[in-house]
Amino acid sequence: MLAVRLGDNGAVTAAPTPHPAAYSADAPASAALLARARRVIPGGVNSPVRAFRAVGGTPRFIGSGRGPYVTDADGRSYVDLVSSWGALLHGHAHPAIVDAVTATAARGTSYGAPTEAEVLLAEQIVDRTPVEQVRLVSSGTEATMSAVRLARGVTGRDLVVKFAGCYHGHVDALLASAGSGVVTLAIPGTPGVPAATAGTTVVLPYNDGDALTRAFAEYGDRVACVITEAAAGNMGAVPPLPGFNRLLHEVCRAHGALLVSDEVMTGFRVHRSGWWGLADAADGWAPDLMVFGKVMGGGFPAAAFGGSAEIMARLAPDGPVYQAGTLSGNPVACTAGLVSLRLATDSVYAGLDRTAATLRGLVSDALDAEGVPHLVQSAGNMFSVFFGDPAADAVVDFDGARAQRLDRFAAFFHAMLANGVALPPSAFEAWFVNAAHDGDALDRVAAALPQAARAAAAVGTGA
């Protein structure tokens, strides 16, 4: 039973169900659901990282979420540091979002015709970012796919430059050397992607300006776009080095290519205007195309891509580049996104920054106390922990991210889970705070950390 209170921004700050000293590693109800799921769903999950393959054990099937907590099928509650992979900025079941969604759905859930909710959500996005127009779609994958198609249509060129360790959804042309689930599962290449398509993708090391300059010197006149995560969060949190994003912009300009900034993860999460607002806006430049998702859907399937009115006019129906969707701009999803963005005030972002800083400090202190070499790295309020032997000074690219001790992460993860804290089940993912993470939730994380640090230390030196 949850004792529900409302926090500053109306988010539910529920008191957690008391839990025993530690949950057992067995999760019988989740295990039973997984067995049933595996009969009808490949691997038992509808998105690979959820399967816990990187950390082992039984993925927890979630029955409900409230504020900062989720409760699994066995009735165990966890402080949730996944936040639906970043989508939930205000925690679970925020009353204002639930009420608005319920009222919208009661009037009708989908029309295949334009609605006011789409206009309101698009206006919010345009108001917060440098884009003049957006097209709404249903997933980040769809948004990056469409942005790349538009870039190719605008430039009349085929090549796409991406960076190793950045993940842009499971788009054929963008899966090469991708982070997130692709690296978590150690999938070597991209089976199912035609060689001709893979051949249009150039993969460069992240944060490597020299490699970029060399690539453009060789085939810059064939590049339609460079796509980058505004700050990488899919190989752990790896922010761009100072000036790197600006260099991408300048090199693209010089060669007639477009810069596509993927803010699916960072957009409206790290700042009211995303990573661009946090780090780049003051420099006075903007990407040619931007891609959004997660937070802008408020926990529902909604995403978007946008740019200048001139570039966006190349899309159908005004222009020749075709792109469409039955559920695009769905009124229920747009309502959830709209309320989520309206709630996302500067004071909410300041609170998220404080929560993230507190957590980073708690994690580091606990690991230091057990002598576990590690690096806590952040990109705004997103952060992750790299376990190393010894710890690196900084992780700036995919090779650095892969040099971590995954065995230590797995031990740490399971000890946290046993003590009522759900982390992303992979070392290659960022941890996501939300506005419902209150003092009680942070206390529970603090209480779980010493045992998790001991578990990581117990894995050994790996020498």
Question: Which residues are within 8 A (CB) of 18 and not within 5 positions of it... i.e. 6 or more apart?
Answer: none
Determine if 229 is a binding residue for ligand PLP (CB under 6 A).
Answer: yes
- Those residues whose C-beta lies under 8 Å from the C-beta of residue 23, and which sit 6 or more positions away, are 76, 417, 418, 419, 420
Show the site string, 149-188: x = touches ligand PLP by CB under 6 A, - = not. Answer: ------------------xxx----------x--------
Q: Does 262 bind ligand PLP (CB under 6 A)?
A: yes
User: Which of 130/169 has CB closer to ligand PLP?
Assistant: 169
74 binds ligand PLP (CB under 6 A): no
Interacting residues with ligand PLP between 283 and 312 (CB under 6 A): 293, 303
Any idea what DSSP says for residue 30? Answer: H
Neighbours of 128 (CB within 10 A): 20
Strand 223-229, strand 159-163: pairing: parallel
Tokens for 112, please give them: 């295949």
Query: Minimum Å distance from CB 115 to ligand PLP?
Result: 21
Active-site annotation, residues: 167, 262, 294
Minimum CB–partner distance for residue 139 and ligand PLP (Å): 4
**Of the candidates 141, 273, 426, 451, which one interacts with ligand PLP according to CB under 6 A?**
141
Position closest to ligand PLP via CB:
140
| Interaction of residue 275 with ligand PLP, rule CB under 6 A | no
Cβ distance to ligand PLP smaller for residue 23 or 275: 275
| Nearest CB to ligand PLP, comparing residues 118 and 262 | 262
For position 140 contacting ligand PLP by CB under 6 A, the verdict is: yes
Nearest to 250 by CA among 222, 279, 213: 213
Residue 144 found at the interface with ligand PLP (CB under 6 A): yes
* 384 is a contact residue toward ligand PLP (CB under 6 A): no
Q: In a 3-state reduction of DSSP, which class is residue 105?
A: helix
Q: Is residue 269 near ligand PLP by the rule CB under 6 A? A: no
Helix H or strand E segment including 252: helix 244-255
- Chain mean position to CA 52: 17
Position among 175, 264, 290, 295 found at the interface with ligand PLP (CB under 6 A)? 264
- Give the number of residues in contact with ligand PLP, rule: CB under 6 A: 16
- Position 234 contacts ligand PLP (CB under 6 A): yes
Q: Across the beta sheet with 223-229, what order do the strands follow? A: 133-137, 303-307, 289-292, 258-263, 223-229, 159-163, 201-204
Can you tell me the distance from the alpha carbon of 266 to that of 287, in angstroms, rounded to the nearest whole number?
14
Q: Quick one: which of 463, 377, 426 has its CA closest to 81? A: 426
The label of the residue with tokens 């946290």 reads 416
Q: Which amino acid is at 265?
A: M
Question: Closest approach of Cβ 146 to ligand PLP, in Å?
Answer: 12
Cβ neighbour number for residue 50 with a 10 Å cutoff: 18
For the CB of residue 375, give the shortest distance to ligand PLP in the complex, in Å.
Answer: 21
Residue with tokens 């900025």: 89
The verdict on 438 binding ligand PLP (CB under 6 A) reads no
The alpha helices in 370-438, defined as continuous H runs, are 398-402, 406-418
Q: Is 245 in the site for ligand PLP (CB under 6 A)?
A: no
Q: How far is the CB of 168 from ligand PLP (least distance, A)?
A: 5
Site mask, ligand PLP, residues 97-136, x = CB under 6 A? ----------------------------------------
* Beta-ladder partners of 203: 162
304 touches 135 (CB < 8 A): yes
* Residue closer to ligand PLP (CB basis): 277 or 420: 277
Q: Backbone phi, then psi, for 114, in 5-degree steps?
A: -65, 150
Position 146 contacts ligand PLP (CB under 6 A): no
- For residue 168, give the 3-state DSSP assignment: coil
Spatial neighbors of 437 by CB under 8 A, at least 6 apart, are 68, 79, 91, 355
By C-beta, is 265 or 321 nearer to ligand PLP?
265
Please report, for the chain, how many H helices and E strands are present, in that order. 15, 13
Nearest distance from C-beta of residue 292 to ligand PLP, angstroms? 9
Residue (300 or 413) nearer to ligand PLP, CB: 300
Residues that bind ligand PLP (CB under 6 A): 85, 139-141, 144, 167-169, 180, 229, 234, 262, 264-265, 293, 303
